[in-house]
């Protein structure tokens, strides 16, 4: 996918950021899984009461302010909530069926609902009109195009079509993290086992992104996919360390116990444990604070919070890591563990 990589040619030098202050670790009963931020939390409470207006105002505000990364996160979380409690969304559809924020949320929900089905490819094809309607809602918005990229991967779309979607997405937001993650996942699916493609794309994207962009953590995402995929040629250890180092630099730019980079830090902690960089892993543990995220722990366990807490205890005690963590691959393997490219993949984060 050379034309994807060609979009990321200019390199930038990352600035040095001050090290965030580290506080005491929260107790086990003070850590939370996927805790919503202060803007989303009251909206979810209102949705639980059947009220759609707070969600409508929240998403309209992110669109007006062009807060595309925040908007993408809120759409994911609201769609996940609607999978079990949809009354508020039904009322919104009745009151304002052409609201661009509603159209986007409905498209995300439809993709999420189709994803775990054995008939996923066929079901996703039926979702295409919803995604088209969402993309027409606000031409500036890259989030419908991120949904379209996920949809293309799930429906086994070809290289050329995916690239057309990608070009439309990055025209709207050149460094949108969600779109880049969607591209890495597609590369991993399209060339299963050829992790060099994912690393090349992720490295070039990170080089071109601003120093505080979440895209700086994209190589760590590629490293996670490699370490959990169980197939393909061995990736040099130096490349894995470089991916971790770039994510460490990004993590250092944010305050400790900050919910915004929580997923980056959780993923990075996993990577550092796999690399046996214990002190660096303990530092990320402190920076995570109470904010545990389902990804990556739900790729390893049906109890992601419990898995994190157990791993944290091992790290603090200085004992061997959990058996599920696994060694760094040393040779090509045909195994297919529970990873992004197959196996146990929650529908909300396919």
- Length of the chain counted residue by residue: 350
Q: What is the pLDDT of residue 230?
A: 76
Q: Is residue 337 classed as helix, strand or coil in its secondary structure?
A: coil
The neighbouring-strand residues paired with 291 are 32
The structure tokens listed for 295 are 């990804």
Per the listing, tokens 């890259």 go with: 142
Are the beta carbons of 148 and 135 closer than 8 angstroms? Answer: yes
Q: b/e per residue, 143-161, with b = 16+ CB within 10 A?
A: bbbbbbbbbbbbbebeeee
Spatial distance between the Cα atoms of 315 and 322, rounded to a whole number of angstroms: 9
Q: What is the pLDDT of residue 323?
A: 56
The structure tokens listed for 215 are 């895209």
Q: Is residue 118 classed as helix, strand or coil in its secondary structure?
A: coil
Are the beta carbons of 283 and 251 closer than 8 angstroms? Answer: no
Q: What is the pLDDT of residue 342?
A: 33
Cβ neighbours for 164, distance < 8 A, ≥ 6 positions apart = none
DSSP state of 335: -
DSSP element (H, E) containing 291? strand 291-292
Q: What is the pLDDT of residue 24?
A: 80
Spatial distance between the Cα atoms of 117 and 274, rounded to a whole number of angstroms: 32
The neighbouring-strand residues paired with 339 are 342
Q: Where are the alpha helices (DSSP H) in the chain?
A: 2-6, 40-48, 53-64, 68-82, 87-95, 100-114, 120-137, 143-154, 159-172, 177-190, 195-208, 218-229, 237-251, 262-274, 278-288, 294-297, 304-317
Spatial distance between the Cα atoms of 34 and 295, rounded to a whole number of angstroms: 9
Render each residue's pLDDT in the chain as its tens digit; 350 residues: 434 544 333 323 333 445 566 668 999 999 999 999 999 999 999 999 999 999 999 999 999 999 999 999 999 999 999 999 999 999 999 999 999 999 999 999 999 999 999 999 999 999 999 999 999 999 999 999 999 999 999 999 999 999 999 999 999 999 999 999 999 999 988 776 678 889 999 999 999 999 999 999 999 999 999 998 877 788 999 999 999 999 999 999 999 999 999 999 999 999 999 999 999 999 999 999 999 999 999 999 999 999 999 999 999 998 766 655 666 665 434 333 333 333 333 434 56
Cβ neighbours for 16, distance < 8 A, ≥ 6 positions apart = none
Q: What is the pLDDT of residue 327?
A: 63
Instruction: Find, among 158, 170, 178, 156, the residue nearest to 1 by Cα.
Output: 158
Q: What is the pLDDT of residue 322?
A: 63
DSSP state of 339: B
Radius of gyration of the chain (CA): 20
């Amino acid at each position: 996918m050379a034309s994807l990589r060609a979009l990321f040619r200019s390199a930038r030098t990352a600035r040095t950021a001050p090290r965030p202050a580290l506080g005491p670790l929260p107790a086990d009963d003070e850590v939370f899984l996927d805790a919503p931020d202060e803007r989303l939390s009251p909206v979810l409470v209102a949705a639980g009461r059947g009220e759609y207006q707070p969600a409508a105002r929240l998403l309209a505000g992110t669109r007006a302010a062009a807060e595309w990364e925040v908007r993408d996160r809120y759409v994911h979380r609201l769609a996940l909530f609607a999978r079990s409690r949809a009354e508020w969304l039904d009322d919104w559809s009745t009151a304002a069926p052409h609201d661009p924020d509603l159209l986007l949320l409905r498209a995300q929900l439809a993709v999420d609902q189709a994803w775990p089905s054995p008939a996923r490819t066929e079901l996703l094809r039926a979702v295409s009109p919803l995604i088209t309607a969402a993309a027409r809602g606000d031409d500036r918005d890259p989030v419908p195009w991120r949904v379209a990229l996920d949809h293309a991967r799930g429906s086994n779309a070809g290289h050329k079509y995916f690239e057309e979607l990608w070009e439309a997405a990055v025209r709207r937001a050149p460094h949108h993290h969600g779109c880049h993650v969607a591209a890495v996942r597609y590369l991993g699916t399209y060339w299963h086992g050829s992790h060099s493609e994912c690393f090349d794309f992720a490295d070039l994207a990170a080089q071109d992104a601003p120093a505080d962009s979440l895209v700086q953590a994209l190589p760590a995402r590629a490293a996670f996919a490699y370490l959990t995929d169980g197939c393909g040629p061995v990736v040099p250890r130096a490349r894995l360390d470089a991916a971790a180092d770039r994510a460490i630099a990004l993590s250092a730019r944010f305050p400790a116990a900050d919910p915004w980079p929580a997923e980056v830090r959780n993923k990075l902690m996993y990577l550092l444990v796999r690399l046996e960089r214990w002190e660096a892993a303990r530092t990320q543990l402190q920076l995570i604070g109470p904010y545990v995220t389902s990804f990556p722990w739900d790729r390893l366990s049906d109890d992601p919070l419990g898995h994190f807490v157990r791993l944290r205890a091992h790290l603090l005690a200085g004992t061997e890591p959990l058996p599920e963590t696994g060694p760094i691959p040393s040779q090509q393997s045909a195994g297919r563990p529970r990873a992004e490219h197959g196996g146990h993949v929650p529908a909300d984060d396919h």
